[in-house]
Amino acid sequence: MSQTAPQGLVPLPGSERKPLADVFPAGRDTGPAPKNEDVDVSVYLKPHVAHPASSQPGQHMTREEFAAQARASESDLQAITQYAQQHGLGVMGVDPVGRVVKLHGTVEAMQRAFGVELRHFEHGDEEFRTREGPVHLPAHLIPLVAGVVGLDDRPQARRRRHILVEAAQAAYTPPQVASLYHFPTQGNGQGQAVAIIELGGGYRKSDLTTYFGQLGLPVPNVTAVKVDGGKNAPTNPQGADGEVALDIQIVGAVAPGAHIVVYFAPNTDQGFLDAITQAVHDTTNAPSIISISWGGPESSWTAQSMQLMDQAFQTAGTLGITVCCAAGDNGANDGVTTDSLAHVDFPASSPNALACGGTHLESANNLITGESVWNDGSNGATGGGISDVFALPTWQANAHVPPSINPGSHVGRGLPDVAGDADPQTGYQVLVDGQQLTVGGTSAVAPLWAGLLALINQQLGKPVGFINPTLYQQINQAQVFNDIVAGNNNGYSAGPGWDACTGWGSMDGTKLLAALEPHV
């Protein structure tokens, strides 16, 4: 499938796609993509200056200040648009603040402009457009371009959600979980906006009315935002609707006063990245927290996509936005079956994200009686481990992050950072397309933390933003976390202090609020 670089073009570093046989060994190449097939791509530009401000708590910029300092130059934008137009591509949108140019054209025009070969591929019941090897550009554009996404529209991420239809050992409502974890009871998240990234599915207003009515809570203010043609499109409980319902209902139940903004995008690297970029720079809804319950093994991403998303998270921190990411539901190998190595989930492995792992939660009389690492064996286990891509962050230097269990025993970014109830056996009661279900997975933990942070932001009167350095360096973890010392994720084991299964552990929300106050 890969081809020699066309004359006059050179490879764009970080854009290489692995051979499809390495990623989808059971898939089938069905031939060249039709020349007249429509393709949309996003071209992301490199910043001209270093990141304009520290993303430490209390040192945030407004979106307007950031836009003034870090927007793409007119000359860079013009260079991309001129190149696109020379190759018969339409310019569908230019976002100087997000540093992205959106292009539209045929397969034939895209192949010529970016020096790629686009083909169709079948895997299971899905068919998608693929490419191998790097994207190519003229040498004079390479210093300007950070990445080109959208040429390949394979499914990029998996939702982090497990449904348990039969009776669970203990099924909680989100307010019950919040009570067990001592979430602050003053305030309701009023004045905060929580962004939720969704790559499929949808929600029904009738479900929200029924669900929150059953809990005796007001129906939250929920806004759906379309990204790259994505939209609120509910189908059935076994699809992505369960993810959407879980995310909205957890945030809305623990922080009923918060404005929930759901960004719907296609499940591609382009859709995922564009949704996050739009949420970060959204001056209309202005979210202070982003919850992401989708991800995939680091090995399934291109270097350019990981770098671009990590940069978006860094920008989020600068703007006072906390990014909460599910750490994965397939244990230490993150569901990879093509090798025997450990893998961690991205975007949770980004050092600019708060990675959320999972526990098994037991209680009696509104008190926690036991909590261990979530591990159901073959049915699911919390993700966690050591990144193969991102180095150990400075703020994690004293957390005693262990070496990777992979050959070489390197030490990189360790995850998760924090944890919460995720085992479907002790999962969350949700309403999906009219059906009452018990749902678990680390996809429940990201919105749980997002809801808690909405409460905390409201009480502090300012956003905590990029919270990781504070959690690791400026507070007494033993006073604000329930340390999880029992269990494993089929690769790493829990133990006192930070571990690669549950991070520092599950939260005591009220104590966390008190601990954060001096540092924000």
Helices marked H in 63-201 — which ranges?
A: 63-70, 74-86, 107-114, 174-180
* CA-closest candidate to residue 326, choices 351, 347, 299: 347
With 60 as the cut, is the pLDDT of residue 165 above it? no
Whole-number Å distance between alpha carbons of 504 and 517: 19
Whole-number Å distance between alpha carbons of 243 and 163: 10
pLDDT digits (tens, 9 = 90+) for 19-68: 877 777 788 899 999 999 999 999 999 988 766 554 455 679 999 999 99
Confidence band for 425, pLDDT divided at 50, 70 and 90 = very high
* CA-closest candidate to residue 268, choices 40, 104, 463, 470: 40
pLDDT digits (tens, 9 = 90+) for 175-218: 999 999 999 999 999 999 999 999 999 999 999 999 999 999 99
Burial code (b: 16+ CB inside 10 Å, e: under 16) for 177-194 equals bbbbbbbbeebbbeebbb
Could you give the percent of the chain with pLDDT greater than 70?
96
* CA-closest candidate to residue 150, choices 263, 311, 264, 266: 266
Whole-number Å distance between alpha carbons of 47 and 283: 20
Please name every residue paired with 195 in a beta bridge, in sequence order, or none if there are none: 261, 290
Whole-number Å distance between alpha carbons of 87 and 103: 11
With 60 as the cut, is the pLDDT of residue 328 above it? yes
Residues marked active site are found at: 243, 247, 443
Confidence band for 324, pLDDT divided at 50, 70 and 90 = very high
Contact 297, 335 (CB under 8 A): yes
Q: Is 481 helix (H, G, I), strand (E, B) or coil?
A: strand
**Residue 468 parent element (H or E):** helix 468-473
Contact 270, 150 (CB under 8 A): yes
Structure pTM?
A: 0.96
Contacts of 78 (CB under 8 A, 6+ apart): none
* pLDDT, greater one: 22 or 137: 137
How far from 306 is each of 80, 116, 295, 309, 492, CA to CA, in Å? 22, 20, 11, 5, 24
Taken in order of first residue, the domains within the chain and their CATH numbers are: 10-149 (no CATH), 158-519 (3.40.50.200)
Q: Which residue type does 32 have?
A: P
361 CA to centre of own chain: 24
Query: For residue 2, what pLDDT is reported?
Result: 43
Chain position carrying tokens 């007001």: 218
Whole-number Å distance between alpha carbons of 312 and 318: 10
Q: How do beta strands 367-373 and 354-364 pair? A: antiparallel
* CA-closest candidate to residue 199, choices 146, 165, 154: 154
pLDDT digits (tens, 9 = 90+) for 449-459: 999 999 999 99
